[in-house]
Chain A
Amino acid sequence: MKKSIQGKVFVLGDDVDTDQIIPAQYLSYNPAIPEERKMFGVYALCGVPDAQSGLPKGNIPFVPKGDKTSPYTIIVGGKNFGCGSSREHAPISLQAAGIEAVIAEFYARIFFRNSVNGGYLIPFETPKRLCEKISTGDELKIDLEKNEFANLTTGKTYPLTPLGDIVPIIEAGDVFKYAKQSGMLDN
């Protein structure tokens, strides 16, 4: 597991559902085919209403027009991030766009599992609501050893909830590697 994750942050609000993360019209791409998997990055978060895209100002595209990836590395969201469908295309699209971690108040269960078991990104939770305190474009640095992150743009530091049960899976890489390490699967 990495010791730190650093990069620009894209800020979203509450209940960002999987249809906003990757609209259903793009689900005919097959994530098992590498060339098609890249397309999920192109369309990542294109379903978010313009006013909520890149808070607090809004109207900021997550993936600039014509680009295949996003300039942002971290997402900060509010409550219930990733609610809605079970499509694994959602964390895949964020990863394909360049996201390494999401920081939210809490997650919808299936998105959380998919992110961890597939090893796409780390879903951090925070004890306090932060999506109004951080601005899209700020530079964040997550310290995985101290369970906190710094906003290098403002100089403020915020606590993260310890990852708990999922640490062994994140450390292993994904649920398959974890199952092999724990003896559930033959090597």
Chain B
Amino acid sequence: MVEHVVDSWRPLAAVLISAVAIALIVASHRRPNVREAWSVLASVGKFAIVASMLPGVLDGTEYRWSLGMVPGLDSEFVFGVEFALRADALGMLFALLASFLWIFTAFYSAGYMRGLDEPNQTRFFASFAASLSAAIGIAFAENLVTIFVFYELLSVATYPLVAHDETDEARAAGRKYLAYTFFGGGFLVLAGTALVFVLTDTTTFGATAADLAEADPALARAAFGLLAAGFGVKAGLMPLHSWLPDAMVAPTPVSGLLHAVAVVKSGAFGVARVVLEVFEPDLVGELGVGLALAAVAAFTLTAASIIALRADRLKRRLAFSTVSQLSYIVLGLGLAGPAAVAGSGTKTVIIGGLLHIPAHAFMKLTLFFCAGFIHVETHTDYISEMDGIAKRMPLTMAAFAVAAAGMAGIPLVAGFVSKWFLLIGAVEANQAIFAVVLLLSGVLNIAYFWPIVYGAFFESHDDADSKPLIEFPLGGRASGGASAGEPEAVADGGAADDAHDDDAAATDEHQEGGHHDTADHEHAGHAVHSDDQHEDHDHHGGPPPGGWERAGWTGAEGSWLMLGPILVIVAGAVVLGVVPYQAVFLELIEVIAEGVVG
């Protein structure tokens, strides 16, 4: 494939369009309708600009912008490194995904924020637009320094979103988020970038591998470790993942687009750049770092799935699912090293890993949107309160079920295709052990999603089966539902009683009439979840007295502003699963894999 590079302002325009929108959003803070209109316009515009480059990129053209194209400025950003954006196939994959999904998230978040009557909405929408700017910047960055610039900006821009609620919990999560991401970005990635620069005198993607191969292997391994760990922080690699579940205190559109797509995928994308273009699979394999990365990823995806089994708060369970699914991507990339050494399967694992970027994005966004929609409509956050909820929100739960099936890798949904490639590739690369891990993880996926779906559709609130995994302490000792009187079952000592009392009192105010017993029962149940220490008890979910009302299948369950995006995105997930070659992502990824493997 003949590559040729065209100077163009389009990559910069794609980055800046939402930065311009920030100013407009802030300026129109007194008129919410105008403000949201800017958001939507920016998202559509951004997608249009990105999409306009797609045909060219598929034909092997790359669009490049550098600082030197601004009159009076030099391209050089720091000595020996240009500040440049280049829309290549890999960048397009991420940019296309993020900008496409932002359109629907823009609608959805308008509905979400209004439905909950959240404060500081202007700050929310402005930060959201800023985050998207930074994400596209990461996608198109041409070298490690430029990607670092946007990586840091992304950390800064998403911090206000995590701490949005201004509660103690949200601020603590924000602090943790900043600490983790700056450790990953300002320390690890910066150090890795500097090391690569010192070893090779350049940081441009695709130009460093030859020099790195000749450098001291210990230093080259150190550089890989620093970069992979640095990007791995945002990609939720264990043991640096714990900011992600905490960051779920953010409003759901943030959890959805940023903490399932833009932010965390920027980490995975960074790993992809490092593996495929900074070091390139051959060197990754020779240095032996690919196998190490794959091992970390395999551990993460198994461990996170197991933790997810015990999370009762829906968003928290989804967060651990995200941690686990992101590791599929990293696993695919890590396996590229051993596969290159083995001489077979490189292309397959790369395709599998990269395809999981859009596949997971579509599915997880659906799941988060469903969770947010349920929260807005019924204030239900806990899985144990969701039995029978399909009666109240049939379309939502149907979408949820489809996306959950995809997560588990059931055919005809997006997740199946990427996992299939990964499985085949792992076997081709003589790393069958990872194929076993993948299959095991599929089982675990079913184990943590099926109870939600089953409970929602086939049980009612009053006669639900017990949920041993989330109700009983580890070890399976049955202490019964009303365990508040048994302090030994409580992780943090006597606090359970207090929590119990507070809850009961608060519930009294909240729910007029009887039904105290059930409410007490439920909340006492929460107090023993040693796993969910950050639960706040502000929300009182669960069905109203007398069980869930029945809503029809025609969208009576809530605002179409939120339901619409859910249905569109789940449809996207199915399209990706049924006709992967017609959806543009697989084609793009094959271009990438061709470029890498040659």
A binds B: no
Task: Name B's A-contacting residues (CB within 8 A).
Answer: none
Task: Name A's B-contacting residues (CB within 8 A).
Answer: none
